[in-house]
Amino acid sequence: MARLAGRRIIITGGASGIGRATARLFRAEGAQVAVLDRSDNAAKAVADEIGAIAVTCDVADPASVSAAVAKAAEAMGGLDGVVNAAGILSEAGIADTTAEVFARTLAVNLTGTFLVIQAAAPFIQAAGKGTIVNIASGVGLMPTGPGSVAYVASKGGVVALTKSVSMELAPKIRVNSVCPGAVETAMTSAYIRDASGEPSAAIAKRYALGRHGQPEELAAAILFLTSDESSFMTGIALPVDGGRTFH
Ligand SMILES: NC(=O)c1ccc[n+]([C@@H]2O[C@H](COP(=O)([O-])OP(=O)(O)OC[C@H]3O[C@@H](n4cnc5c(N)ncnc54)[C@H](O)[C@@H]3O)[C@@H](O)[C@H]2O)c1
């Protein structure tokens, strides 16, 4: 039986990578899906492929978020859940991270997550109950090393935001985060494989399972936290990282 039958879900960042894999899986599990992404063409391509709705949205822009969430909820006849997967990477360390890069990284990854939750919560409350899953990162629990200061700060923020909001929105809305390790997507294509196309040995060495992950492996965890199978879970930060955080 479909695990999300009748559910109406917004997926930000659904045009690529983890968000796209989640959109595909959620449709296969019976949900209606609205893909909210700043990339119009890619969002439309995914929506056309799986039978979803595409809505252009910059999650860092409050007006864009409230208009897009309202449009998606109207098109689906309501809203039962959100997956916040939109995000950007910035890899520089403290000396090379400008104030603008720091602010933009937080604006998309952290403020964007906040804005979408704020806009979506009244619709989910009106539906009676629902779920929110935020994609944080393993580096939000434990950085892998020096660098990526803005990204790490934004993802630590997503973990804390999730815990805070989960208390405020309970019991109607369960709010959890997923903390991926290295997953092969457009975001990581520059470093997840070496020049010959082989998986990076340096990354593989950091993981108990000896490899990086695939977007579908994250989508499965996001499905679990969205489905009723996780009905007694809220406020958690779930590592899905091949054993990196303890390795
Ligand atoms: N890939 C990894 O190894 C990894 C690891 C940990 C966490 N994450 C997180 O997972 C999430 C998904 O990343 P991914 O690897 O699938 O990357 P991706 O680049 O493949 O997809 C990110 C999507 O977000 C969209 N996006 C970016 N900025 C946006 C904005 N301002 N408004 C709306 N949409 C926007 C992009 O257009 C893209 O479709 C991100 O939050 C990322 O930080 C990824």
94 CA to middle of ligand 1, Å?
Answer: 22
pLDDT tens across 77-91, in order? Answer: 999 999 999 999 999
**Which pLDDT belongs to residue 1?**
73
* Domains, the chain, with CATH or none: 8-184+217-236 (3.40.50.720)
**Which pLDDT belongs to residue 245?**
81
**Which pLDDT belongs to residue 247?**
66
The alpha carbon of 92 is separated from its chain's Cα centroid by a whole number of angstroms, namely 22
Residues with CB under 6 A from ligand 1: 12-13, 15-19, 37-39, 57-60, 85-88, 108, 112, 135, 137, 180, 182-183, 185-188
pLDDT tens across 187-205, in order? Answer: 999 889 998 999 999 989 9
d(CA 11, CA 134): 10
- Sheet containing strand 32-37, strands side by side: 53-56, 32-37, 8-12, 81-84, 130-135, 173-180, 237-240
| pLDDT under 70: residue ranges of the chain | 247
Smallest CA separation from ligand 1 atom 7, residue:
137
- With the most atoms of ligand 1 within 8 angstroms of its CB, the residue from 69, 178, 185 to mutate is 185
pTM over 0.95: yes
